[in-house]
């Protein structure tokens, strides 16, 4: 089964060995950009994600020689595991695809990458949009800085992130008054969020990736439900 066929197949019907196949694509420097985009997107699904795939996605994020679209996709693909670990906790270790230590290591890696001035802005926005799914203290200052930056795209990212971090009621209300339909409402499904409705077409076009998908809002696979980690098979 190739990557394109895999993308059109429900995750619970993926064959054994899918996780290993995705890992090989992510680690191979010869993988084309289009295949990297597919592999990075699919690797975040809770039916296959594990510590090796998390590290492979982080490795792509760290590499300045990788295309911005691929690095951004890698960040957004970490959303399901971030939300799952943050909401489920670690009392039942058998229900989680990564350990608590690996989860905190992932959070710290995202924080460092976001604060690295050498990382391209597009990638840093995706990191912020993904990492707020498991909120930490540093997110509040990052969101405030993005909101007050004067840059329209950064403000859009900030307003989106306010959904997940407390203390931004005033700014959220301001954004709602400025433009009804700003991304304060969305369609949550399987740990990801659909695109905000009512967003002006021109503004949306500037914020979305070249492939026309709402990467910032986790919209690539928002219509699929992510089954519990218990449904994973050890072979994947």
Report whether pLDDT(199) > 90.
Answer: no
**Contacts by residues 133-137 (CB-CB < 8 Å, ≥ 24 positions apart):** 133/79, 133/82, 133/83, 133/86, 133/164, 133/191, 134/82, 134/83, 134/85, 134/86, 134/103, 134/107, 135/86, 135/164, 135/165, 135/166, 136/107, 136/111
Q: Domain tally for the chain?
A: 1
Contacts for 83 with CB less than 8 Å, ≥ 6 apart? 133, 134, 191
**Per-residue confidence band for 181, with pLDDT thresholds at 50, 70 and 90:** low
> Does residue 131 form part of some domain?
yes
Domain holding 35, by residue range, is: 3-231
Q: Read off the pLDDT of each residue in 24-32 and give the average, rounded to a whole number.
A: 95
The 3 state secondary structure assigned to the chain is CCHHHHHCCCHHHCCCCHHHHHHHHHHCCCCCHHHHHHHHHHHCCCCCCCHHHHHHHHHHHHCCCCCHHHHHHHHHCCHHHHHHHHHHCCCCHHHCCCCHHHHHHHHHHHHHHHHCCCCCHHHHHHHHHHHCCCCCCHHHHHHHHHHCCCCHHHHHHHHHHCCCCCCCHHHHHHHHHHCCCCCCCCCEECCEECCCCCCCHHHHHHHCCCCCCCHHHCHHHCCCCCCCHHHCCCCC
Would residue 100 count as lying in a domain? yes
**203 inside domain:** yes
> What pLDDT is recorded for position 2?
85
Q: Please give the pLDDT value at position 223.
A: 33
Q: What is the pLDDT of residue 174?
A: 72
* Residue 170 confidence (pLDDT): 74
In a domain, 236, yes or no: no
Q: Does 169 fall in a domain?
A: yes
| CA separation, residue 181 to residues 169, 185, 208 (Å) | 16, 7, 16
Check residues 50 and 173 and name the one with the higher pLDDT.
50
Model confidence at 211: pLDDT above 50:
no
- Which is higher by pLDDT, 180 or 81? 81
* Structural domain includes residue 132: yes
Give the CATH number for residue 190: 1.25.10
Strands 188-189 and 192-193, sheet pairing: antiparallel
pLDDT at 26 over 70: yes
Is 78 a residue whose pLDDT tops 80? yes
Average pLDDT, the chain: 79
């Amino acid at each position: 089964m190739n990557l394109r066929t895999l993308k059109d197949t429900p995750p619970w019907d993926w064959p054994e060995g899918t996780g290993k196949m995705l890992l090989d694509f992510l680690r191979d420097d010869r993988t084309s950009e289009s295949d990297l985009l597919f592999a990075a997107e699919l690797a975040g699904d809770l039916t296959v994600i594990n510590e090796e795939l998390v590290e492979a996605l982080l490795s792509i994020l760290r590499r300045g020689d990788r295309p911005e679209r691929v690095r951004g996709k890698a960040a957004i693909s970490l959303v399901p595991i971030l939300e799952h670990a943050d909401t489920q906790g670690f009392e039942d270790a058998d229900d989680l695809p990564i350990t608590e230590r690996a989860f905190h290591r992932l959070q710290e890696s995202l924080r460092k990458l976001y604060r690295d001035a050498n990382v391209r802005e597009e990638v840093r926005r995706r990191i912020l949009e993904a990492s707020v799914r498991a909120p930490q203290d540093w997110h509040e200052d990052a969101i405030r800085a993005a909101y007050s930056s004067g840059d329209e795209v950064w403000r859009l990212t900030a307003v989106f992130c306010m959904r997940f971090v407390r203390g931004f009621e005033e700014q959220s209300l301001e954004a709602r008054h400025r433009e009804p339909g700003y991304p304060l409402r969305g369609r949550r499904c399987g740990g990801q969020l659909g695109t905000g409705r009512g967003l002006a077409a021109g503004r949306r076009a500037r914020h979305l990736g070249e492939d026309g998908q709402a990467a910032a809002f986790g919209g690539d696979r928002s219509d699929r439900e992510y089954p519990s980690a218990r449904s994973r098979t050890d072979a994947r």
